[in-house]
Structure 1
């Protein structure tokens, strides 16, 4: 476990998380489809989620990508996930992608989880700059970034292409351990 609060805890993704992770992603497909299409595509069935977890565990061992799971402390259910990706060890930089189940949105959990995971990543992995990319209309994600202490940097033109959509400009937020 990397963090625990009154309401939730955060840990590295493990094989035992397969059923609950699949449940979270499948039951929130409509909510996640626009900005997490690849993750959803890799988790359509329980078997595909088991394969996804094995790939992500291996990826973490190779320090290429890390997946953190957010558990509700009362029900022990998985309520969200944070992916640390696009790692550049020379620049000491990485990017977060994240999601939280519909039942838990708007409670401030994700901002707290991003803040806690940022602290963990800086202290334990040695990264210095963390990024979040969000579309300007994804107000919950923009608010999460700001509340977690990330600062808006710029708009990246045509940065993200949603399924069957035209490329979208994305807002870049950064958190630096030196600020």
Structure 2
């Protein structure tokens, strides 16, 4: 596992549009399947700007927070971490994240999830966090477990990938 100084997290800004577009283009095979809506919204730099404008508005409304995970040595966007589906009455939110395949296995997403859950708890009083993943996604399950999430239940037909049948998904929960 690497140290936290090899990446930083910051809320998306309009200046991130080209980097976001590059991230999704460079990982289109996997992102197109598992992040179909975000993939569609980042196909061009102009579309990425519109996506970021929407993300900024959602942040201002405290509905979701979109963080760019950027490398620090040779600055580039390596991933995206989103705290979404925020319900302030229930004090809960859900994670979504993706990472450029070139940066897998470094522990960055686990660290980012921990940092963003602290952000949600401290700044927005979110006390219940969710990660929803397919049972075959061992890396995502590992991130959930290393971040303190506990398996809760199976959600039947929860996710419809861009290609294929609806899939059951596993719900992991972290309570702070």
TM-score bucket (shorter structure):
over 0.9
Distance 1:50 1:80 in 2: 16
Q: Name the counterpart of 2:110.
A: 111
User: Hey, what's the Cα distance between the residues in 1 that align with 2:74 and 2:149?
Assistant: 30
> What's the secondary structure of 1:6's corresponding residue?
helix
The equivalent of 1:172 in structure 2 is 171
Q: Residues 124-139 of structure 1: matches in 2 within 5 Å?
A: 124-139=123-138
**Structure 1 residue ranges (4+ consecutive) displaced by more than 3 angstroms after TM superposition:** none
Q: Does the Cα contact within 8 Å between 1:97 and 1:132 map onto a contact in 2?
A: yes
Taking the aligned partners of 1:70 and 1:19, their CA distance within structure 2 comes to 14
Distance 2:61 2:5 in 1: 32
TM-score (norm. length: structure 2):
0.95
Aligned equivalents of 2:34, 2:133: Cα separation in 1: 9
Deviation at 1:148, TM superposition (A): 1.2
Write out per-residue CA displacement over residues 69-123 of structure 1, whole angstroms, 9 at most, x where no aligned residue: 1110111111001111111110000000000001101111111111111111111
Aligned length: 174
Higher helix proportion, which one? 2
2:84, 2:115 → 1: CA distance? 17
| Counterpart in the other structure of 2:81 | 82
- Normalising by structure 1, we get a TM-score of 0.94
Per-residue deviation, 1:136: 0.7
- Contact 1:66-1:84 at 8 Å conserved across structures: yes
Shift of 1:52: 0.5
Deviations 1:35-56 (A, max 9, x none): 2111001100111001110111
Q: In structure 1, what is the Cα distance between the partners aligned to 2:112 and 2:83?
A: 13
Note the 1:96-107 alignment, pairs <5 A.
96-107=95-106
Q: Distance in 2 between matches of 1:23 and 1:148?
A: 28
Deviations 1:48-67 (A, max 9, x none): 00111011101111112210
Q: Distance in 2 between matches of 1:53 and 1:99?
A: 16
- Segments of 5+ residues of structure 1 without an aligned counterpart are none
